[in-house]
Amino acid sequence: MSEFRKRRIQSFLEKHQDRARLLISCPDQPGIVAAVTNFLYERGANIVESNQYSTDPEGGTFFLRIEFDCPHIRVRKEEIENEFSPIAERFSMDWRLSLHTHLKKMAVFVSKEEHCLLELLWEWQAGELLADFALVISNHEHMRETVESFGIPYYYIPVTKETKQEAEQQQIALLKQYDIDVIVLARYMQILSPSFVAQFPSKIINIHHSFLPAFIGARPYEQAYRRGVKLIGATSHYVTDDLDEGPIIEQDVERVDHKHHVEDLKRIGRIIEKTVLVRALKWHLQDRVIIHGNKTIVFK
């Protein structure tokens, strides 16, 4: 099956070797789209997808994501970036050009709950998760066999109150060593320290097992059971220093009723969690998610 994945990736890379995406945010004003699309047109680019959003047409912030095909983009990238600088300056843009064929390097953190990690492994194995699955870090040993069977390195870094700081140093060292672009907390039941989070701004994606902002913090299914809600949910969000308060990428819910005990909520919740996490991660991997303040703009 690993062969299957390689073929999928290979055909993807070939099919999209000329594709790139341009992400822009800047103060809104007339002429931005005209300037950008002209620039691309003059370079023989064909726009295949374009999304824009303005917080307020009068003096708000403008966000633009353009996906385009441009011959030989992989060799011309730097040249095009240089040529684009004047436009970027003129509109004081915060911008980024990235190749469709550049896969983000991904690290996954996991504790004992396996369902989210397994979903990520299988989606990746199926060639659906367009990331470079670099490593798994866990504070438990028990998923090693499974992860290594996919040919992915597994690092066991136990965490106790005493060793937490040291453990995070080891984790950070590994993340630097693998040059990681995105960190996925796939039900990693440890709270990362502010200093850890500070080193990976907007790069850490968590799945919280509740419909935030309901049931922040520990044991959300127990909280949901006690409150007697009729729907339970899951939320994927970027990690900030405020626990479970980071920008929300995606959420979903499932119906429950009085017959469901905590164990049932957990069982139902697992499916929501893995589905929501994979959806959010795929959008992030394609640069479809833009963080604006404490919210996200998702160009689906």
The footprint of its own copies (CB under 8 A) covers 1, 4, 28-31, 33-34, 37-38, 40-41, 44-50, 52-54, 57, 69, 114-115, 118, 122, 126, 128, 142, 145-146, 149, 211-215, 227-231, 233, 247-253, 255, 257-259, 267, 271, 275, 292, 294-298, 300
For the CB of residue 270, give the shortest distance to its own copies in the complex, in Å.
Answer: 8
Instruction: Considering the complex, state which of residue 161 and residue 259 has its C-beta at the smaller distance from its own copies.
Output: 259
Instruction: Considering the complex, state which of residue 180 and residue 265 has its C-beta at the smaller distance from its own copies.
Output: 265
For the CB of residue 244, give the shortest distance to its own copies in the complex, in Å.
Answer: 11
Closest CA to 135 of 119, 120, 113: 120
Instruction: Considering the complex, state which of residue 192 and residue 278 has its C-beta at the smaller distance from its own copies.
Output: 278
Tell me which of 18, 28, 181, 244 is the catalytic residue: 244
Q: Which residues contact 74 (CB under 8 A, 6 or more apart)?
A: 17, 18, 99, 101
For the CB of residue 89, give the shortest distance to its own copies in the complex, in Å.
Answer: 18
Q: Is 69 a catalytic residue?
A: no
Instruction: Considering the complex, state which of residue 77 and residue 115 has its C-beta at the smaller distance from its own copies.
Output: 115
For the CB of residue 78, give the shortest distance to its own copies in the complex, in Å.
Answer: 22
Q: Which residues are catalytic?
A: 244
